[in-house]
Amino acid sequence: MNGTFSERVGEINDILCAVNALQWDARVMMPSGGAETRGHQIATLKAMARRLLLSSETGKVAEEALETGSSENERNAAKTVIAARDWHSKIPAALLREQDETSVVAGEAWAEARAKGDFALFKPYLAKVVSLSRQMAEAIGYDDHPYDPLIAIYEPGETAASLSTLFDALRSGMKPILEAALARPAPRTDFLYRSYPVEKQKALSAELARLLGLDMSRSRLDTAVHPFEISFTRQDVRITSRWNPNYLPMSMFGTMHETGHALYEQGVDPALTRSVHTSDLIGLYAVGGSSFGMHESQSRLFENHIGRSPAFWALHFSKLKDYFSDQLSDVSEDEFVAAINRTEPGLIRVEADELTYDLHIMLRVRIEMALMDGSLSVDDVPAAWNAAMHEDLGLDVPDDGLGCLQDVHWSSGYMGSFPTYTIGNITAAQLMAHFDKTRPELRRAANVGDLVPLRSALGETVWRHGRSRNRRQVLADIGADTGDCRPYLDYLSEKFRLTTR
């Protein structure tokens, strides 16, 4: 690779890695009083990275690398830089700084409001986030809906219209599956709510991450109010979880989810680490990997297709009972598997079962779209949320903490990111359907505890490419289409209506 281009990309990357370190600290260790100054620090570093990105020297070496690059990796890296320069040239620096500064103080306000179940404490910050998001949309430009340029940040190629079409098809297809699942006798679940010491949960979660294949010499597990994964390089990928002493699945499946993200980051081809991936230029406004949806496909795959499968617990239920022998002394393996795969509408997205999970996402997306086009005011968010929860899931929301305040995303300024969770579910099913058809030995190996073949296949198909191939390209390689939810509906139908995988 051209030395000057590589050095310039490396400088930008190093600054963005420092930003990620500050963001990780803000969510995991920083005292609440540090929020305002931390916001300034993050904004300053991002502004430095942006100036380097937009400098004439970066433009010159990127164009040279595009024209004379000695490898496809180098040319792809140049395309990434040029695209990032084009995007950032449209956005006023002051707007980006205001977004960065707002996200940290809004995060602290959200945490307090969530704990107290009081939307009024967060309302002015959400109003600011919505206003800044609208300004961002106007700066980028759009033809049809102000939500479109925000979606493109996280999931290029999707629009409000394409998502509406996809979600309508998914909702229609899910309805009979959900009705059938709810008509069956509910499994026993009382044991999930017993007292589970937090320290043992932490030890179990770390072991589950290792079982799924996470290289802990390049990772660590910490505690956060809202679990997340963040990477500095493929050599330093952090995950977090949260611990409810009276509800075991939260930590287990939260950890498996974040481990899926981390495996993706750790699996990027080292040859890309000073070009496409680790440069992470899109990290100025998103995360690593080809898109949020592609990333979520990996977290949902390991959380659900692997982590909730009967085969996984046939191998590891005895290990779980070693950690919690008293709590699970009267519980059989079959009862445990049935409980963690139950269909039971609930208030909290991150605790939702597989069938109702996407209803949570689609609810949030409708609210985001309405906030962006002005058909819903910030004042009316709690009422709109509560009405949708009642209509979609038949639930009454007791307070805002269990309602519209439950997720951190809006405080972080991630308006437009929620659709990617359902996109991830759809993509995970497409990948597994492809493997089941073309490489059935992968599931056979996984069923006896060997996840190496599956990780290798995902590494070859998805992980190694980093940012060099987008979701559309990855799916095209396996003969799948981004707008096809049929493999996901087939998976859900087989699991919840006809039989259990």
Distance of CA 232 to the CA centre of its chain: 16
Task: Assign 484 to helix, strand or coil.
Answer: coil
DSSP 240: E
In the sheet with 219-223, reading across from the earlier edge strand, the strands are 219-223, 236-241, 229-233
CA–CA separation, 280 vs 78, rounded Å? 12
DSSP 494: I
Question: How is residue 501 written in tokens?
Answer: 């995988």
Q: Quick check: 232 and 20 in contact, CB under 8 A?
A: yes
CA distances for 64 relative to 81, 85, 134, 239, 271, angstroms: 12, 15, 35, 38, 20
Instruction: Report strand pairing: 229-233 vs 236-241.
Output: antiparallel
257 assigned binding-site residue = yes
Please name the residue ranges forming H helices in 188-323. Answer: 198-212, 249-266, 292-300, 310-323
Distance of CA 380 to the CA centre of its chain: 27
Concatenated DSSP letters for 287-335?
Answer: -SSS-HHHHHHHHHIIIIIITT-HHHHHHHHHHHHHHSTTTTTT--HHH
CA–CA separation, 419 vs 410, rounded Å? 13
* CA nearest neighbour of 48 among 26, 17, 80, 69: 17
88 assigned binding-site residue = no
Give, rounded to a whole angstrom, the gap between the first and last alpha carbons of the chain. 47
Residue 7 is among the residues annotated as catalytic for this protein: no
CA–CA separation, 453 vs 267, rounded Å? 14
Please name the residue ranges forming H helices in 325-470. Answer: 333-340, 354-373, 381-393, 409-412, 419-438, 441-447, 452-461
Catalytic residue among 258, 303, 354, 368: 258
* CA nearest neighbour of 53 among 80, 18, 35: 80
74 assigned binding-site residue = no
Question: How is residue 103 written in tokens?
Answer: 């996200």
Q: Quick check: 161 and 145 in contact, CB under 8 A?
A: yes
Helix axes 93-116, 123-140, angle to 10 degrees: 150
CA atoms within 13 A on the CB side of 476: 5
Residue ranges at the known binding site: 257, 261, 296
Residue ranges at the known binding site for Zn(2+): 257, 261, 296
Residues annotated catalytic, as ranges? 258
